[in-house]
Structure 1
């Protein structure tokens, strides 16, 4: 039987900064996510420094140095989610969960609104809904497809219109271009 592992020593300010640098080096993140990560590390390892640690201040310092940019994170996350076919409501919730401030998320609202149709079409194509289905769905299946589109963050009216389209119909001409 292997020897039991020794517990890791408590963190000090140098260790905490090293953890922060390593995290921002490896992951695109927000200040809130970085502070949560550092807090988790402090709970796991403990603290041996003279004054109490401040993960939020360290996250702010990383942002001040340009290592963390919430607006850039929000733009890239929103773009990636829209390309996957997720709607504006789902994107806003993901950004809120990631700790992006309301001002940064609100700056993306016009771009999300402009991409609403395109992302709904991507979702429908991926899930073979409406114009991308092999055959016209019955009412029960249409309800399920519409629910899936709404859960993906698309507006109910847009979801209903896409679900009710006949297979092979061109959504770009129906909606006036994507």
Structure 2
């Protein structure tokens, strides 16, 4: 059984987080409250419209359930707030997808992984395809970035390299790279060769 985390409250008595959560009073969602919540979220995180809708819907569900109301009553308010954020330029699916693409490519993500991640955030499939078509990072270059970050293949110590070859190849393939690209990166003679092969 999970151990309850205990802390002292303002009066010096002990209470668990679970108890404090049960005692918390949730105010019913209004457009103003949800707009503040959306702005607070968007100040900290980039987001697609659908992801913002999901974040606000979870907040609405907690508050509505705590007050004995149906979350469906507040669906229109969530849609209005998301639309207001879109019109204000605070959420832009194209800009979000392009920004995520650059960051994920730098970290060595394959096109297949990026497509899945953006789809999971609610970005339209046609928009994802458009953004990926404009990507000027080759899969070989991205695979090399991935291998370098994970210290695979040429970035391993010489003693481990041959014995870990198959596992390194498998890691690149699981990351969404074709076998031929994985082989080129892992079998490069050294990290300099891997780098020049990717360019």
What is the TM-score with the length of structure 2 in the denominator?
A: 0.75
Q: Which has the higher contact order (CA 8 A, sep 6+)?
A: 1
- The equivalent residue for 1:115 is 138
- The equivalent residue for 1:137 is 161
Q: How far apart, in 2, do the equivalents of 1:44 and 1:18 lie?
A: 17
Match of 1:77 among 86, 95, 100: 100
Match of 1:127 among 126, 136, 150: 150
- Secondary structure of the corresponding residue to residue 94 of structure 2: helix
Q: How far apart, in 2, do the equivalents of 1:2 and 1:129 lie?
A: 49
- The equivalent residue for 1:100 is 123
Kept in 1: contact 2:105–2:137 (CA 8 A): no
1:90 aligns with 2:90: no
* Displacement of 1:172: 4.3
Match of 1:19 among 13, 37, 47: 37
CA spacing shift, 1:60–1:155, aligned 2, 3 Å: farther
Q: How far apart, in 2, do the equivalents of 1:16 and 1:162 lie?
A: 48
- The equivalent residue for 2:73 is 52
* Displacement of 1:113: 6.2
Q: How far apart, in 2, do the equivalents of 1:119 and 1:19 lie?
A: 36
- The equivalent residue for 2:3 is none
Kept in 1: contact 2:110–2:177 (CA 8 A): yes
> What is the Cα-based RMSD across aligned positions, in Å?
2.6
Q: How far apart, in 2, do the equivalents of 1:155 and 1:111 lie?
A: 20
User: Could you list the runs of 5+ residues in structure 2 that have no partner in the other structure?
Assistant: 1-12
CA spacing shift, 1:168–1:64, aligned 2, 3 Å: closer
Q: How many residues align?
A: 173
User: Could you list the runs of 5+ residues in structure 1 that have no partner in the other structure?
Assistant: none
Deviations 1:1-50 (A, max 9, x none): 369645222222221222222222332111011100111111111178xx
What is the TM-score with the length of structure 1 in the denominator?
A: 0.83
- Secondary structure of the corresponding residue to residue 131 of structure 1: helix
